[in-house]
Amino acid sequence: MRTATGKIPVSAVWLLAILLLLSAGITYRVLASHLKFVVEPPITLPVPLNAFPMQAGDWLGEELPIPAITQEYMRDNFADDFFSRRYINAVTGVWADVYVVYCSSRPGGILGHRPQVCYPAHGWVHDSTELSYFTSRASQRIPCLIHRFHKPAPNYHEIVVLSFYILKGQITTSEDDFSGPFGRRVNMSGDIARYVAQVQISSVLEDSTRQVAKDLTGLVLDYLPDLNGQVSAAKLKQQSGSGEKAALPDRK
């Protein structure tokens, strides 16, 4: 409505602005709900990650319970599949916890699972992160990040976390590789090869994390799609029973 001078009253301008904001909010909620519906249920792998061998070479695994609130957080950050285990070497007694999470519905959701976010949320203080490398069973030099955390007194405790990402079958430590449009875009087609996974290996000793990384990284890659969407574990599953000891592959 205009006044006699032809100007729109200030109150009408504010009312229009409020209506536009309300409309935008409703539209956002409708679109967000639609996108959530589109990507649910989670994109599934031909062999789920919880089928990862409990015994691999000399390493014996045991499940690590994940609290319900943590599982809810993982779902909110588009975790389509994961496993969390402690592996103990039957010969040396060395141990490390292995956490693998696969994000394909929205690959960039993996950023919500990185150690610098997860550990401080559970009371750990982040001390440092540095780029490093470990050597695979095939004598390949693989990049990784070494994170150090501690819990304050009176329950002082230190932990080392070795981590890296797997982007469409290739190992990387650079979040720039997937934090752009690739990571934010919803995987409408359900293509399992369009994903980012993260591997976290933690223990009180850095050398323990490196030993597990050396021995189990090739096997982890067998359970994730390569560039062509092929999953080696799907073929391996047909050749051996699920309870048998897994051979450690000499591959990156």
Residue-range domain boundaries for the chain: 1-39, 44-239
The answer to whether residue 28 scores a pLDDT higher than 70 is no
- Split at pLDDT 50, 70, 90, the class of 181 is low
- Split at pLDDT 50, 70, 90, the class of 40 is low
User: Do the beta carbons of residue 146 and residue 185 sit within 8 Å?
Assistant: no
Q: What is the pLDDT of residue 121?
A: 84
Q: Who has greater pLDDT, 140 or 162?
A: 162
- Split at pLDDT 50, 70, 90, the class of 69 is low
As given in the structure block, the two tokens for residue 249 are 């592959």
Average pLDDT over residues 154-182: 88
DSSP assignments along 121-168, one per residue: HTTPEEEEEEEEEEE-TTS-EEEEEEEEEEEPTTS-EEEEEEEEEEET
- Split at pLDDT 50, 70, 90, the class of 12 is low
Q: What is the pLDDT of residues 116-133, one digit of tens each?
A: 888 998 899 999 999 999
Rounded to whole angstroms, the Cα distance separating 72 from 107 reads: 17
- Split at pLDDT 50, 70, 90, the class of 79 is confident
The H or E element spanning position 71 is helix 68-76
CA 61 to chain CA centroid, Å, is 20
Rounded to whole angstroms, the Cα distance separating 16 from 39 reads: 35
> Which of 37-46, 56-65, 71-80 is the most confident on average?
56-65
Rounded to whole angstroms, the Cα distance separating 100 from 147 reads: 16
pTM: 0.77
Rounded to whole angstroms, the Cα distance separating 27 from 23 reads: 6
**Average pLDDT for the chain:** 81
The answer to whether residue 43 scores a pLDDT higher than 70 is yes
Bond before 41 cis per omega within 30 degrees: yes
Q: Who has greater pLDDT, 39 or 213?
A: 213
Least confident of 24-38, 49-63, 97-111, 207-221: 24-38
The answer to whether residue 142 scores a pLDDT higher than 70 is yes
Average pLDDT over residues 99-124: 83
Question: Could you tell me how many residues make up the chain?
Answer: 252
Q: What is the pLDDT of residues 197-248, one digit of tens each?
A: 999 999 999 999 999 999 999 999 999 999 889 999 988 766 665 545 666 7
Average pLDDT over residues 136-164: 94
Please report, for residues 28, 37, 49, 50, 98, the alpha-carbon distance to residue 64 in angstroms, rounded to integers and kept in the order given: 38, 30, 14, 12, 9
- Split at pLDDT 50, 70, 90, the class of 105 is confident
